[in-house]
Amino acid sequence: METVDFHKSKKKKSFSPMRRIAFSFFMVILIGSLLLACPFSNQGTIAPYIDHLFIATSATCVTGLVPVVVADQYTLIGQLVIILLIQIGGLGFLTLLNMFIYALRKRLTYTNKIIMQEALNQNSMAAIGIYIKRVIKYTAFFELMGAVLLSLVFVPEFGVVKGLYYGLWHSISAFCNAGFDVIGPNSLIPYQTNILVNLTIAGLIIAGGLGFVVWIDLRMSWRHYKENFKFFKLKTFFSSLSLHTKVVLTATVSLLLGGTLVILLLEYNNPGTIGSLSFGDKVLASFFQSTTTRTAGFASVDMAALHDSTKLFMSILMFIGGSPAGTAGGIKTVTLVISLMYIFSLQNGYETVSMFKRRVDDQVVKRSLTIAILSFFICTLGLFILSMNEGADFIDLIFEVFSAFGTVGLSASLTPTLTVLGKIVIIILMYIGRIGPLTMVFVFAKKYKQKKGQDIMYPTADVLIG
């Protein structure tokens, strides 16, 4: 009897919250692919199942890579399945599930709190239920505001019903950093110079990519600031924010402005992208691509026509991605900053990593470096397999791999031409990119907590490096 209980306990323990998160994404992808493969989801000829699996993975992992044109392949039902997968993938199935549980019971079990602590990348279980409610509120606010603004453009062009549908559909896709569209095969290229569409989509991408922790911190800090200060001073308000928010905002602004400038300079005279536009429209298109490259996947220029140098630069941006605890992918901005600050600390002889007069915990530094190295290794492995199997330019393969792992969705027209093996590789990269960095963090955090204080101290020996 004791043996049976022991095995049950071991089995229950082995299915950790981390594994539940990964399994929930897997099940959503599987169910979504089966629904997309049904006749009622397809217009005319049903595509091969691998394509439906590819799109279900791309939608759930909020990527945007597609082997077929969504607007041409899928019916209204199929499109609704895709946008539902995007919404579930953006927030996480367990987040939505626990939101309903919390709404019905007004409380969460201890197990559910542990799961949500890991799913939402939180350090504490305190007020998890309230945090979930805030996540849903912020999501609804941004998506509805985006839908209204986009409808101002789409309603006059497509009519009331279709215009409102397009507005809401693309608002959800943008906020979840998915990059899917149902307008046609050219993404947002027809709206390349439309300021409202560009700024609304970019604003939604940034809002979703910053992460919910940042928005909550900004709100709480603003409340506190209004109660204690009569006049607004940006420096004072910025100093009241948490270290995480400071790092995210600084990195995001730097990457957006730096990305805009580099893309503008590289593509300034390229007639296939922004070369024929006015200076103002060139800046707008460059800013939009700098924003969308960091995990959204909408395109206002032809990706295949970009210079190779631009594709390589954008691949770096795609690898970095957005910020933690949001809808974006990539290794995350905070991981990049901490890794760079670690190198800076070593160069200057410091033993610890410090930012904004705060020291970063050594375990966070180790996890950041681990995520960056493992992520690059995974991308390199995927690139190696594709280079052996796909007859495409190497720079386009790099672009495709980093786009998949960073859950971006941009492609130099390579996705539709991928072989079955190539699609499987991209599917795996999208899946790992959506759950991988987060999963890796908790794998190493869990091992650290289990082994803490139990290290065997062997004699020290020197090895040569560098």
pLDDT digits (tens, 9 = 90+) for 227-237: 776 677 777 78
pLDDT at 78: 93
CA pair distance 78, 347, nearest whole angstrom: 54
How many of the other CB atoms lie within 10 Å of CB of 237? 16
127 phi and psi angles, rounded to 5 deg:
60, 35
Phi, psi torsion values for 445, nearest 5 degrees: -65, -40
Residue 90 has pLDDT above 70, yes or no: yes
* Lowest-pLDDT range of 198-202, 211-215, 359-363, 407-411: 211-215
Q: Are 221 and 205 in contact (CB under 8 A)?
A: no
Give how far the C-alpha of residue 81 lies from the chain's centroid of Cα atoms, to the nearest Å: 20
Q: How many Å separate Cα 114 from the centre of its chain?
A: 22
pLDDT at 401: 94
3-state secondary structure of 354: strand
Of 18-27, 33-42, 375-384, the range with the lowest mean pLDDT is 18-27
- Angle in degrees, CA 406, 331, 299, rounded to 5: 30
**359: β partners:** 354
- Per the document, the length of the chain is 466
Q: What is the pLDDT of residue 3?
A: 45
> pTM, whole model, 2 decimals?
0.85
The average pLDDT across 237-250 equals 87
Predicted pLDDT of residue 315: 93
pLDDT given at position 7: 46
Average pLDDT (181-204) is 90
In this prediction, residue 418 carries a pLDDT of 92
Give 5's pLDDT tier (boundaries 50, 70, 90): very low
pLDDT above 70: percentage of residues in the chain: 82
| Residue 446 confidence class, pLDDT cut points 50, 70, 90 | low
Q: Higher pLDDT residue, 240 or 110? A: 240
- pLDDT for residue 454 is more than 50: yes
Q: Count the neighbouring beta carbons within 10 Å of the beta carbon of residue 408.
A: 36
Average pLDDT over residues 28-34: 93
Q: Mean per-residue pLDDT for 369-380? A: 90
- What confidence score (pLDDT) does residue 459 get? 84
Is the pLDDT confidence value at 124 over 70?
no
